[in-house]
Amino acid sequence: MKLNFITAAKNYKVHLVVWLIFILYETVVIGLVYGIFGKPVTYIAHYLLIIVLFYLHAHLFLPWALKTSKNIVWRLPLILIFELGAFVFVSFFIDKLLINLNILPNKGSLTLDFQYIMKSVYRITYFFGFATGYYFILRYNNEKKRTNELEKQHLLDIIYQQKSAQELTKAQNSFLKAQINPHFLFNSLDFIYHNIDSVSPVAADAVIILSEMMRYAIDSDKMGDYIYLGDEIDQVNNLLYLNQMRKNHDLGFKIHFDEEVRTIHLIPLVLLTLVENIFKHGNLSQPEYEAIVKIYLSDDHFIVETDNLVNHTSKPGSQTGLTNISERLKYAYGNEVKFTYRTDVRNHFVVFLAIPVELLYKHAALLTSLKDNDTGLVHAYVDLN
């Protein structure tokens, strides 16, 4: 309560100072000139009435009267008559009350005569003049503030439009780069393939598989929101083949999946990211600790499990890929998805993903088989014949 009073005092300090100066002028200066002083209660009661009517006139009554131009003719006289009458009668009631309490001296009987009414009307008209001026100052300031806000908003709109135009230009440039760069990349791979095919068929085969994987990754955002899991399993096998070639086929890695999961519709790059994470951070050099990937259906859930020995010689991962998978799964399927990953006491990194099959069917778009519309993931860019 005390804090609110202090805040109000700060906000209206100019009002308080002006009223204080005016009241001191009327009570002290005029009192000294005419030798007339009243008791503090008398001043408080009458000035409180004047102050209340002053702000009611400026903030309530006058705005209502001037709200619409067609109603000013009758609203303004009506509100002025009401305010004048209210001041006269309330002022008379206060004087009567003060006389009965022996606070105000009674010089003859106080009556609501013409002289008392005219004196009261003159006094309140004096304050209504100041209140009217205060109202127009407020309206001018509000209009100025509103104009400044509109100008500021207009400036912000211009800045936003310019920024949007810049972003659009940047997006168009990025789109053009995205078209040029893959085309250059795959044609370069095509050149490499044709030049090494006769010298090293194994290396040429690696180029074909690498092209398929890169094409799949680049085109994943063009395949729709969902892909056939079988297509991604094929890319996992390609990734496994390339890594085995690098390690002379000496990798401890197995993937097990039910054939029926190949027709599952899933958001792209989930399985491929999980397997890539194994190759990047897993220890696959010990045959007794094979990395395992299991994909199956169980209890109306689609399940993916991975288990691999952690390779402490590699740089610690930031787990950005796993975090990205978690966010994408939640966005696509909601909170019913269970996705966990951790390093257990065996120093194995394990991942568990479970999605209700009903959600997969509900959210997956109906896809046209890529094999019917494409002649292979490589050949749209590269002719490797």
Residues 101-115, mean pLDDT to the nearest whole number: 77
If one compares 230 and 39, the residue with the highest pLDDT of the two is 230
Same domain membership, residue 83 and residue 220? no
User: Does residue 212 lie within any of the structural domains?
Assistant: yes
Same domain membership, residue 217 and residue 101? no
Residues 218-245, mean pLDDT to the nearest whole number: 81
Residues 98-103, mean pLDDT to the nearest whole number: 82
Same domain membership, residue 227 and residue 346? yes
Q: By mean pLDDT, which of 82-96, 105-119, 358-372 is the weakest?
A: 358-372
Residues 308-314, mean pLDDT to the nearest whole number: 84
* End-of-domain residue from the set 158, 188, 208: 158
User: Does residue 166 lie within any of the structural domains?
Assistant: no
Query: What pLDDT does 369 receive?
Result: 43
User: Does residue 31 lie within any of the structural domains?
Assistant: yes
Beta carbons within 8 Å of 378's beta carbon, 6+ residues apart: 186, 208, 211, 212, 215, 384
Residues 304-324, mean pLDDT to the nearest whole number: 84
Chain segment 10-56, per-residue pLDDT in tens? 667 888 888 888 888 878 876 776 566 777 888 888 889 989 999 99
How remote is the C-alpha of 34 from its chain's centroid? 67
pLDDT at 304 over 90: yes
If one compares 59 and 304, the residue with the highest pLDDT of the two is 304
Residues 221-236, mean pLDDT to the nearest whole number: 81
pLDDT at 156 over 90: no
Same domain membership, residue 96 and residue 44? yes
Both tokens of 46, joined, read: 């009458």
Backbone CA torsion sign across 192, 196, 201, 202: negative
Q: Tell me how many domains the chain contains.
A: 2
Chain segment 175-200, per-residue pLDDT in tens? 555 555 666 677 777 778 777 877 78
Same domain membership, residue 267 and residue 147? no
Domain encompassing residue 137:
2-158
Same domain membership, residue 349 and residue 227? yes
**DSSP states along 193-258:** HHHHTTT-HHHHHHHHHHHHHHHHHHHGGGS-S-EEHHHHHHHHHHHHHHHHHHTTT---EEEEE-
In degrees rounded to 5, what are phi and psi of residue 271?
-65, -45
Same domain membership, residue 276 and residue 222? yes
Query: What pLDDT does 117 receive?
Result: 87
Same domain membership, residue 138 and residue 215? no
CATH of the domain at 325: 3.30.565.10
Chain segment 253-296, per-residue pLDDT in tens? 999 999 999 999 898 889 999 999 998 889 988 878 899 999 99
User: Does residue 245 lie within any of the structural domains?
Assistant: yes
Same domain membership, residue 282 and residue 208? yes
* End-of-domain residue from the set 98, 133, 158: 158
Same domain membership, residue 211 and residue 140? no
Query: What pLDDT does 371 receive?
Result: 41
User: Does residue 179 lie within any of the structural domains?
Assistant: no
* End-of-domain residue from the set 110, 131, 158: 158
User: Does residue 378 lie within any of the structural domains?
Assistant: no
Same domain membership, residue 260 and residue 355? yes
Query: What pLDDT does 252 receive?
Result: 86
Query: What pLDDT does 357 receive?
Result: 92
Same domain membership, residue 353 and residue 206? yes
- Residues of the chain with pLDDT > 90: what percent? 21
Query: Would you place residue 221 in the very low, low, confident or very high pLDDT band (cuts 50, 70, 90)?
Result: low
User: Does residue 314 lie within any of the structural domains?
Assistant: yes
For residue 339, what is the enclosing H or E element? strand 338-343
Residues 340-366, mean pLDDT to the nearest whole number: 87
Query: What pLDDT does 345 receive?
Result: 92
Residues 197-207, mean pLDDT to the nearest whole number: 80
Residues 65-83, mean pLDDT to the nearest whole number: 88
